[in-house]
Amino acid sequence: MTDLREYAGSIGLCGLGVAPPTGEVIRTYPWARSVICTALPYLPPEEPLNDNRPRGLVARFARSVDYHVVMNRKLLSLSQVILSECRNARLETCVDTSPLPERMLAILSGIAFRGWNANVFVEGYGSWVVLGEIVTDLDLVTHSDPNLNTCAECGECLRKCPTGAITEPYVVDKRRCLSAITQRRGSIPTDLRPKLENRIYGCDACQEVCPLNKDILPCTPEFAERTFPGAHPDLLKLISITDEDFDKHVRRSSIGWIGRDRIRINAAVAAGNLGNPEAIPVLVELVRTGGPLLAEHANWAIEVIKSRGH
Ligand code: B12
Ligand code: SF4
Ligand code: SF4
């Protein structure tokens, strides 16, 4: 395992450990004997804003290339190394794979410890890491010790979560979590719309305030690439994006999977919260052409902008 750990480091992963398969793992992969867990640091360099256009905010894990693609590529490279030594091994790569409890596996494998904001932290990289695993039938008897370190337990994440969604240490109420709200279907509850501010995908508030997330090591080079959506995509362009442009520029990006309607709804709410009257014409157009759900959010945004006295 030492060599594999070194190899993982050489391809930009920031940790490698082995967890025993949990109940969920065994239910999905009855042949599993071990889970190789790894993490990938993604914190991109900050992008300064240099104009006054209404702009959205994308959480850091989704500003550049899709992490599923990057992590999966690295897991496949690791798998090749394993197969070169154990030709008959059964290996299944997983990234963000339901129903695997990825954070718990990372803790059990020793590579990460958990924080009150429910995220897991890797020494040197904070919680700005995504997780990936290789489930295998190899009996890697040298399972690592779980990482039972604690965070600083300062409570900042609980206090600064915009919706109070962290109801107690380690517990996130999905119904109130803004990250979930930007990603799920249906109408956004009206009391939570202002809390989104200009967020259009994900939420980083409980990680930004964490003292363990300061002064951390740079991300893997892939995530430093400047590509759509970046940190601050142009809201008016997103609200009025055509089907064709969506397919060409957005669908395969890290935020594209939520679909054109969801992105336009999120962008409309963000534009309402920013209160910039420049947004009114594209919002009116969305009311006219967008269907009931989009029209309802666009009307809400128009009302908010008007109520601010513009
Ligand atoms: C559904 C989901 C969400 C939902 C719900 C999250 C939630 N906390 O319930 C929503 C959309 C809200 C979400 C948001 C985010 N998510 Co998410 N999400 C998932 C997904 C697909 C399933 C997670 C889940 O439901 N777990 C069930 C809950 C109960 O467990 P958990 O919080 O994941 O893990 C804790 C429990 O296992 C607990 N625990 C319980 N019993 C025990 C027992 C023992 C012994 C131990 C040690 C621990 C333990 O400790 C763990 C750590 O806190 C996972 C991928 C996966 N398959 O795991 C990604 C995942 C958890 N998400 C991830 C990310 C990056 C995020 C966001 C940061 C994205 C963003 N910027 O917007 C936010 C963070 C919000 C937050 N504070 O948690 C990463 C986590 C990275 C990290 N460093 O922790 C994952 C692992 C995806 C990946 N492959 O990298 N997410
Ligand atoms: S992601 Fe945002 S809304 Fe969700 S728990 Fe963290 S701070 Fe709260
Ligand atoms: S903000 Fe404080 S309580 Fe929350 S995870 Fe970070 S150290 Fe822990």
Specify the length of the chain in residues. Answer: 310
Q: Cβ neighbours of residue 106 under 8 Å, at least 6 residues apart? A: 17, 19, 37, 39, 112, 120, 131
DSSP symbol at 126 = B
Burial class of 310 by CB neighbour count within 10 A (0 to 12, 13 to 18, 19+): exposed
Residues 127/116, Cβ–Cβ less than 8 Å: no
Single-letter code of the amino acid located at 231: A
Tell me, using a 6 A CB cutoff, whether residue 114 lines ligand 1: yes
Closest CA to 153 of 166, 141, 140: 166
Nearest ligand to the CA atom of 120: 1
pLDDT, residue 49, reads: 87
Tell me, using a 6 A CB cutoff, whether residue 81 lines ligand 3: no
Q: pLDDT digits over 13-42, tens only?
A: 999 999 999 999 999 999 999 999 999 999
Per domain, the residue ranges of the chain are 2-53+64-136, 156-209+233-307
* Mutation test residue for ligand 1: of 176, 179, 207, 254, the one with most atoms within 8 Å of CB: 179
- Which residue would you say has higher pLDDT here, 160 or 98? 160
Residues 41/128, Cβ–Cβ less than 8 Å: yes
According to DSSP, the residues that pair with 136 across neighbouring strands are 34, 91
Average pLDDT over residues 198-208: 98
Is residue 173's pLDDT more than 70? Answer: yes
Query: How far apart (Å, rounded) are the C-alpha atoms in residues 79 and 77?
Result: 5
The proportion of the chain whose per-residue pLDDT surpasses 90, expressed as a percent, equals 92
Q: Which two tokens stand for residue 302?
A: 């128009």
96 labelled catalytic: yes
Q: Cβ neighbours of residue 16 under 8 Å, at least 6 residues apart? A: 1, 4, 5, 8, 36, 37, 38, 78, 111
Output the DSSP codes for 236-278: HHHHT--HHHIIIIITTSTTGGG-HHHHHHHHHHHHHHHT-GG
Question: Distance from the CA of 270 to the center of ligand 3, in angstroms?
Answer: 27
Tell me, using a 6 A CB cutoff, whether residue 151 lines ligand 3: yes
Q: pLDDT digits over 139-155, tens only?
A: 986 667 999 999 999 99
* Mutation test residue for ligand 2: of 163, 174, 188, the one with most atoms within 8 Å of CB: 163
Phi, psi of 104 (to 5 degrees): -65, -40
Q: pLDDT digits over 51-71, tens only?
A: 889 999 999 999 999 999 999
Spot the catalytic one: 96, 191, 245, 261: 96
Q: Cβ neighbours of residue 22 under 8 Å, at least 6 residues apart? A: 101, 104, 105, 108
Q: Give the residue whose CA is nearest to atom 1 of ligand 2.
A: 203
* Mutation test residue for ligand 2: of 203, 207, 213, the one with most atoms within 8 Å of CB: 203
Phi, psi of 37 (to 5 degrees): -110, 140
DSSP symbol at 193 = T
Closest CA to 165 of 139, 140, 191, 185: 191
Q: What is the biggest distance separating any 2 CA atoms in the chain, rounded to whole angstroms?
A: 70
Residues 22/16, Cβ–Cβ less than 8 Å: no
Q: Cβ neighbours of residue 176 under 8 Å, at least 6 residues apart? A: 163, 164, 165, 192
Please report which confidence band the pLDDT of residue 212 belongs to, taking 50, 70 and 90 as the band edges: very high
pLDDT, residue 50, reads: 84
